[in-house]
Structure 1
Amino acid sequence: MSPLWMPYDLAASNEVALILAHFMQHSKPICAVGHGVAALLATASHPQQTSWPFKDVCLTAPTLFDQSLDRDFSQCPVLLEDGLRDGGARYTGAAPGAPHVVIDRHLVTGQNELSTLTAVQNLVLICNQLK
C-alpha cells in the first residue's frame, strides 16, 4: 500500500470511531487535513452509532481529482469525496493544489497539505474560545 493511503486505516478503527463520536457528542474541537479526513468515516459503521455524526456537517477533503493524480490511485481503499457525500456530509472542494479549509461549528477540515497552517490556526482559535 502506498504511504499516501496509510491514513485510510483510521477509517476502519473502532477506537477512532469512539473518540470522534465522543468529541462530536460533547462539541469538542476536531481538526483533520487531507487524507486524514478519512478518520471521520470510522464513525459511519460503528455499532454504537445510530446515525453518522457528520451527516449535514460542512467539510472538505481531497477531491476525486486530487486522489486520481496519485500514481497509486488504483490501490486507494476509499474515495473520500464519494464516501463523505454518501454519508450525508456537505462536501466542498477547491481546485487541485489550492488551500481550502472548511469550518463547521467545532470541526475544521482541510482539503490538502497546503491547508494545514490555516486549519491549525483555526483549531487554535476554537480552542481558545473554549477557555
Structure 2
Amino acid sequence: MSKQVCLLVLSSSPNGVSAPSFLQCYKLIQSAFILQIATPDGAEPHFIDEDEQSTRWLADMESKKPLCTIGLGVCSLFSAKDSDDSWSFMDYSLTGSSLGELIISPIFVGMPYIPSDIIFDKGGRYCEGAPNTVHVIINRNVNL
C-alpha cells in the first residue's frame, strides 16, 4: 500500500517557525505520509529557536537536494523567490510539456498561461523536445 501525500504548510510570519517543533512534526508525519512542504507565496521559512541538532538538520535539508518536475510540474516552480525577491530559477534551463502537446490537450483552452512564456518572462531558459518524446534537462540540482 502506497503512502498518501500530506501537505505541510509553514507560516511565513516574521515571528518565525520554531525549528524544534517543525522537526518533531516532520519526523512524525514523514513516517506515515509522503510529505510536501509549502509556505504562502513560496516564501522562505524563518526558523527560530534553533539548537545544534536542528541547525544541522535544516542545513542538510537546504543543501539543494535534487529537484525533479515532470510535464506541467514545472509550473510549481513559478512562485519560488529568493530573499531579494528574484525568481529562484532565473538563468536555469527548464523544460516541460511542449506547446505542441499542450495545444492538442483538452486542458489547453482553460490554461491561464503558457509555461514556456512564464519561464522566459521570469528570466529562465526553456527547451523542449518533439511532442510525445522523452526530453530531460539536468541543470545544477534541477532535473526536468
Q: TM-score, normalising length from structure 1? A: 0.60
Find out whether 1:58 has 2:83 as its counterpart: no
Residue 67 of structure 1 aligns to a residue whose secondary structure is helix
Find out whether 1:17 has 2:54 as its counterpart: no
Q: How far off is 1:36 after superposition?
A: 1.0
User: Please, which runs of 5 or more residues in structure 2 have no aligned partner?
Assistant: 1-37, 45-57
Find out whether 1:87 has 2:112 as its counterpart: no
Q: Aligned partners of 1:16 and 1:60: how far apart in 2?
A: 22
Question: In the alignment, is the contact (CA less than 8 A) between 1:33 and 1:61 conserved in 2?
Answer: yes
The one-letter code of the counterpart of 2:105 is D
Q: Aligned partners of 2:140 and 2:64: how far apart in 1?
A: 8
Q: Deviations over 1:9-59 (max 9, x none)?
A: xxxx7447247xx9xx74222111111111011225x9x552101000011
The one-letter code of the counterpart of 1:78 is Y
Q: TM-score, normalising length from structure 2? A: 0.55
> What corresponds to 1:72 in structure 2?
107
> What corresponds to 1:30 in structure 2?
67
Which aligned pairs between 1:104-123 and structure 2 lie closer than 5 A? 104-109=139-144
Residue 109 of structure 2 aligns to a residue whose secondary structure is helix
Larger Rg: 2
The one-letter code of the counterpart of 1:27 is K
Residue 78 of structure 2 aligns to a residue whose secondary structure is helix
Structure in which a larger fraction of residues adopt helix: 1
- What is the root-mean-square deviation in Å for CA atoms of aligned residues? 2.7
User: Please, which runs of 5 or more residues in structure 1 have no aligned partner?
Assistant: 1-12, 110-131
Question: In the alignment, is the contact (CA less than 8 A) between 1:38 and 1:80 conserved in 2?
Answer: yes
Q: Aligned partners of 2:93 and 2:110: how far apart in 1?
A: 27
